[in-house]
Amino acid sequence: MSAVTTLLTDDQLAVVETTLDFAQEHLAPHAVAWDQDKHFPVDVLRKAAGLGLGGVYVREDVGGSELSRSDGVLVFEALATGCPSIAGYLSIHNMVGWMIDRYGTGAQRGRYLPALCAMEQLGSYCLTEPGAGSDAAALSTRAVRDGDHYVLTGTKQFISGAGASHLYIVLARTGEAGPRGISAFLVERDDSGLSFGADERKMGWNAQPTRQVLMDGVRIPAGRMLGEEGGGFRIAMNGLNGGRLGIAACSLGGAQSALDRSVSHLADREAFGARLLDAQALRFRLADMATELAAARALVRQAAEALDRNVAGAPQLCAMAKHFATDTGYSVADRALQLHGGYGYLAEYGIEKIVRDLRVHQILEGTNEIMRVVVARSLTGGLR
């Protein structure tokens, strides 16, 4: 894991070592069983909160750790070495916490963030719809003002943590078509009219539930709008900048685990009278995998620093990092499976689980095709 800790400060090294220890003690030994049993280990999430991982970016006055994005990508990479599915959910939960901390009122911060940071309550992010995936600005869920309340109606699709989570940031249309007509709301699990679809049967990410969020006239106080009316799309996109870095970092961690396991496997196996690790062709494959991960890690950390400094090109760098790191992570994990031969295809070795988990990272938080759109727009936006 030396590549993960390159050029870190003493404080960052301490964060990485603590998180790696947690991942190896509490996540890695159970990851395959959780995947097979489709078990969401809420008790383990609360143990993670004891290390400050329930409110990574949230300010300290409400129980958060108040870490930077540069620190956060280290946290999520380290967590994903134990289980990318659990690390991915924690990234989403922390995106919810950051959005409330950044855009919420004092009352909203005080009401929700202490419980989210302690993971006594879990959070989910509800943007995607059955008919509005990549075209997020075309969402059709509506929020209609009725006196001192809003009434929400619509369906959200592919929501991580749905049903188990207590709090949902829901993006809904309050005005005109397009992004300017979208607002953000805080919906609670016990709100009347809120229900959930069946748990989706998925290729990976089985250690967390994924369900539809169904709103049939959910009536909530107007004070549960997050930010200003019509400002929801900007809030959602700013949240996704950090969310994309979290998922990119999870891809690095999962792939690093697959690479480390491959080195050990090749050292233990013999063929034709010699260790597989001594075969130059296989050593070159390992070298390529390590080099590609190092390049992806550098881009993720560059994007995180840009987001911390709020530089103008930060959203484009986040899109580049998400695209490159998730493509690279999946590719490295797939090659690690191949290096394990038939053993890589067996569930008990954990490699095929990493491959399945990392595949969805190329889709969620904005597909990698949309990441290319974001980057291309930044390059050509001034040209007519």
Residue keyed to tokens 């690690």? 336
**Which residues, other chains included, contact 358 with Cβ-Cβ below 8 Å and sequence gap of 6+?**
84, 204, 251, 254, 255, 326, 329, 330, 333
Q: Annotated catalytic, 365?
A: yes
Single out the catalytic residue among 200, 270, 365, 369: 365
**Which residues, other chains included, contact 301 with Cβ-Cβ below 8 Å and sequence gap of 6+?**
70, 73
Quote the CA–CA distance of 153 and 217 in Å, as a whole number: 5
Long-range pairs for 272-277 at CB < 8 Å and ≥24 separation? none
Return the bridge partners of 77, or none: none
> Other C-beta atoms within 10 Å of 248: how many?
32
Q: To 5 degrees, how large is the angle CA 309–CA 116–CA 85? A: 80
Helices (H), ranges, the chain: 10-22, 31-37, 42-49, 69-80, 84-103, 106-117, 232-268, 280-309, 314-339, 351-359, 368-380
Beta-carbon-side half-sphere exposure of residue 167 (alpha carbons within 13 Å): 28
User: Which residues are marked as active site?
Assistant: 365
